[in-house]
Amino acid sequence: MFVLGIETSCDETGASVVKDGNEVMSDTVASSLEFHKRYGGVVPEIATRYHLEVIDYVVKDSLRSAGITLKDIDLVAVTQGPGLVGALLVGISFAKSLSYSLGIPVVGVNHLWAHIYSGFIGRPNVKFPIMGLVVSGGHTSLVLCEDIGKFRLLGQTRDDAIGEAFDKVAKILGLGYPGGPAIENAARRGDPEAVRFTPPYLGDDSYDFSFSGMKTAVLYHVKGRKLTAAMTADIAASFQKAAIGAIVEKAISACASKGIGRLVVGGGVSANMLLRKELAAAGVNNGVQVIFPPMRFSIDNGAMIASTGYLLYKKGKKSGLTLTAEPNLGI
Ligand code: KG4
Ligand code: ZN
């Protein structure tokens, strides 16, 4: 069974062909990132127009790379939400048109579920339960997954998402957009012990996160100072250490208290090497197997949508032509 996955929730236009839920035949991603940089963040109108311009080419490229044609596709899976409404509608309209004209089913996929599932792409026999951790530009969520589609939100950020905090701190430090890779890069030359940034205490039994206080602490720390490259690197390293530390601590303690032995991590921030290193180490120390997606599936992509769509379809989910964007879709 060939599944075409389409992803257009933010600034990446992704299309991928996945065979029988476990073989990624192609994975094409085009990004409008360059066009957003000068504005310091994603501009929804620019992202939407870019999707419209390239989606046809991206889908054609993924079919060509997979060595198949449209007629071979058995199912179209598309991101339903959360995301930018105009951007989502481009992918959804395209997917529904394919479904209608080819006479094949379409299935809407929750982008957050797909990020969690991205650690299992190419390995469809997932053994549940698992703990899911989504760390992206819009979300920081800890999710107990009992089965595919049976997800329970344990905790989430009360203010900024972790990726958003990286982006805002990078802006304060003049490091540009996107902030995550920029902070990670600057941090390599800095001392993580130079400045103490601490996450707020949110209660012993809370799995929530909060990052806006740390971001404001960075703002006050740099206020009135002329930053040298060395000072910037120290602040980047110190912020990164504190923010990642908060994630690692909450994720591992959630696994321990719920008795879950496997943690899967997805979303753009899962590309961060310090997060990967620290979570892996904490996992070893606490008997938790930590699973990360390959780097290319950390960022938004069509393969995670196709793979998750396949599993949902196998469970009996079909969306039909009334499928529409759900920009605020939760877990
Ligand atoms: O999952 P994603 O591609 O899009 C959303 O669904 O939000 O995540 C984008 C976020 C951005 O905030 C970006 O700064 C962050 O992921 N990010 C990183 C790294 N690479 C991307 N954050 C920290 N370290 C990185 N290496
Ligand atoms: Zn995402």
Architecture in CATH for domain 126-292: 2-Layer Sandwich (3.30)
Question: Domain map of the chain by residue range?
Answer: 2-117+297-314, 126-292
Residue 150 sits at φ, ψ, to 5 deg, of -110, 80
Closest CA to 76 of 331, 325, 330, 313: 313
Report d(CA 108, CA 287) in Å as an integer: 35
* Residue owning the nearest CA to atom 14 of ligand 1: 180
- CB 166 near ligand 1, within 6 Å: yes
Which residues, including other chains, have CB under 8 Å from residue 70's CB and lie 6 or more apart?
63, 98, 102
- CB 163 near ligand 1, within 6 Å: yes
* Residue owning the nearest CA to atom 16 of ligand 1: 268
- The class (CATH top level) of 2-117+297-314 is alpha beta
* Residue owning the nearest CA to atom 2 of ligand 1: 268
Neighbours of 109 (CB within 10 A): 29
How far does residue 116's CA lie from ligand 1's centre (Å)? 14
User: How much of the chain is helix, strand and coil, in % rounded to 5?
Assistant: 45, 20, 35
Ligand nearest to the CA of 138: 1
Ligand nearest to the CA of 179: 1
How far does residue 285's CA lie from ligand 2's centre (Å)? 29
Tell me which residue has tokens 């959360």: 82
pLDDT number for residue 149: 84
- CB 178 near ligand 1, within 6 Å: yes
Mutate which of 135, 136, 276 for ligand 1 pocket (most atoms within 8 A of beta carbon):
136
How far does residue 300's CA lie from ligand 2's centre (Å)? 5
- CB 137 near ligand 1, within 6 Å: yes
Q: Which atom of ligand 1 has the smallest separation from the CA of 178?
A: 14
Strand partners, 109: 79
* 108: region left, alpha or beta (phi > 0 left; psi from -120 to 50 alpha): beta
pLDDT digits 0-9 by tens, 157-193 = 999 999 999 999 999 999 999 999 999 999 999 999 9
Domains 2-117+297-314 and 126-292 share a fold: yes
- CB 167 near ligand 1, within 6 Å: yes
How far does residue 269's CA lie from ligand 1's centre (Å)? 4
pLDDT number for residue 124: 66
- CB 299 near ligand 1, within 6 Å: yes
- CB 83 near ligand 1, within 6 Å: no
Angle in degrees, CA 183, 268, 98, rounded to 5: 145
**pLDDT tens sequence for the chain (331 residues):** 999 999 999 999 999 999 998 899 999 999 999 999 999 889 999 999 999 999 999 999 999 999 999 999 999 999 999 999 999 999 999 999 999 999 999 999 999 999 999 988 877 677 899 999 999 999 999 999 998 889 999 999 999 999 999 999 999 999 999 999 999 999 999 999 999 999 888 988 899 999 999 999 999 999 999 999 999 999 999 999 999 999 999 999 999 999 999 999 999 999 999 999 999 999 999 999 999 999 999 999 999 999 999 999 999 999 999 999 999 999 9
Which residues, including other chains, have CB under 8 Å from residue 97's CB and lie 6 or more apart?
none
